Each structure stands twice: as structure tokens, then as C-alpha cells.
Amino acid sequence: MLVASVSGLLAGLSLIVAIGAQNAFVLRQGLARRHVGPVVAICAFSDAVLISAGVAGLGALVTAAPAVLTAVRWFGAAFLLGYAVVAGRRAVRGVAMERPDGGAVSGLAPVLLTTLALTWLNPHVYLDTVVLLGSMAATHGADRWWFAAGAMLGSVVWFTALGVGARLLVPVFRRPRAWQVLDGLIALVMLALAVQLLVG
């Protein structure tokens, strides 16, 4: 039980802690202190749903239906390209001194929709949580749900640390140039992920 839980925690963190569209958005909202709670909750809850689906056996179904992943891949690539353009424009124009939030998404509805899109339109999320974690959980037999619980805990810990911990970097991001650098990096990450999705 304990071994399975710890294994799930480490496996979950190893897959979640990576520079990606979702993490970049959580970091940006955390720096701006805009709706961090809902963003973290959506990310963690979505992971919990997907991990549960993988442990329950949905991974095999997803693997057997490549057309579903293909459709999600194209939608995800289009969304990431659009987000890359927006971040790129912010990086080029810079952030006015009167905008200490760095121009982050501010309204609750846009924040929730963007978080959901960055989570559910990313094929890598399905491969990581449903297929990979689901397959790894299966190796623990009767303790597979303890493995899932550990992976879910890893998700909660990571997104909370990323969203809430971002405020420690606020002094750095009081300078508009720092926002420009961050937005430039986010644009590059989004573009790279979109290209990666498009080329399969």
C-alpha cells in the first residue's frame, strides 16, 4: 500500500513537473495572483479524473481509438499556436508599468476556459495520465488505486506549489522586462509544443 502510493507520487511528479502549456499558464496566473485557487483546482481535479480513468482501464480504449487522439492533437495544436501568438505579442510590445500583473488573463470565466482548454486539448495529458500512469498502476495489482492516490497527490502538490509559490518571484517580475522574457519563453514553448503535435 505505502510502496504503491509512493511509487504513484513519484511517477505522477515525474510526468507533471515539466515545462508545458499548462504549467506555464499556472505560473503566469500565480505571478499575477489572479484566480490561482480555481486554476490549481481545475488542473488537479482534471488530473484526478484522467488518472482514475487510466486506472479503471480507459487507457486501453484510448490506445485502440487513435482517431480520438488525432482530433485532440489538431485542436490542441491550433489552440497552442493561438496562445503562442498572444504571448509573443505581449513579449514584443512589453508590459506597461501600470500593469504589474503582466497582462495575465484576469476575468474568472476566461481563466477557467483557458485552464480547461490547456488541460483537455493537450494529447500529452491523455498519454501521461491515462495511458502511462494507468499502465504503471496496473503493475501494482490490488494496490493500483493506492498508486493512483499517490499520483493524484503529486498533482495537487505540484500545482499548488507552482501557483502559490510563484508569488516568491513577484519582486523579480515588478520589472516589465522580466514579463517580456517570460512571455517570450512561453511563446516559444507553446510554439514548440504545437509543432510537435502537428508533426505527430
Please answer whether residues 51 and 148 qualify as being in contact, where contact means their C-beta atoms are separated by less than 8 angstroms: yes
pLDDT band per the 50, 70, 90 thresholds, residue 96: very low
Beta-carbon contacts of 97 under 8 Å, excluding residues fewer than 6 positions away, are 176
pLDDT band per the 50, 70, 90 thresholds, residue 106: low
Alpha helices in the chain (DSSP H): 2-16, 21-32, 36-55, 58-64, 66-93, 108-120, 123-125, 134-138, 144-165, 176-198
pLDDT in tens, 146-195: 999 999 999 999 999 999 988 888 887 777 787 788 788 878 877 887 78
Q: How far apart are CA 35 and CA 58, in angstroms?
A: 32
The answer to whether the predicted template modeling score (pTM) of the entire model surpasses 0.95 is no
Q: How far apart are CA 37 and CA 68, in angstroms?
A: 31
Distance of CA 36 to the CA centre of its chain: 13
Please answer whether residues 153 and 45 qualify as being in contact, where contact means their C-beta atoms are separated by less than 8 angstroms: no
Q: How far apart are CA 148 and CA 126, in angstroms?
A: 15
Cα–Cα distance list, 111 to 3, 6, 24, 146 (Å): 37, 32, 13, 32
Number of residues that this document lists for the chain: 200
pLDDT band per the 50, 70, 90 thresholds, residue 71: confident
pLDDT in tens, 1-56: 888 898 888 888 877 776 677 888 898 889 888 899 999 999 999 999 999 988 88
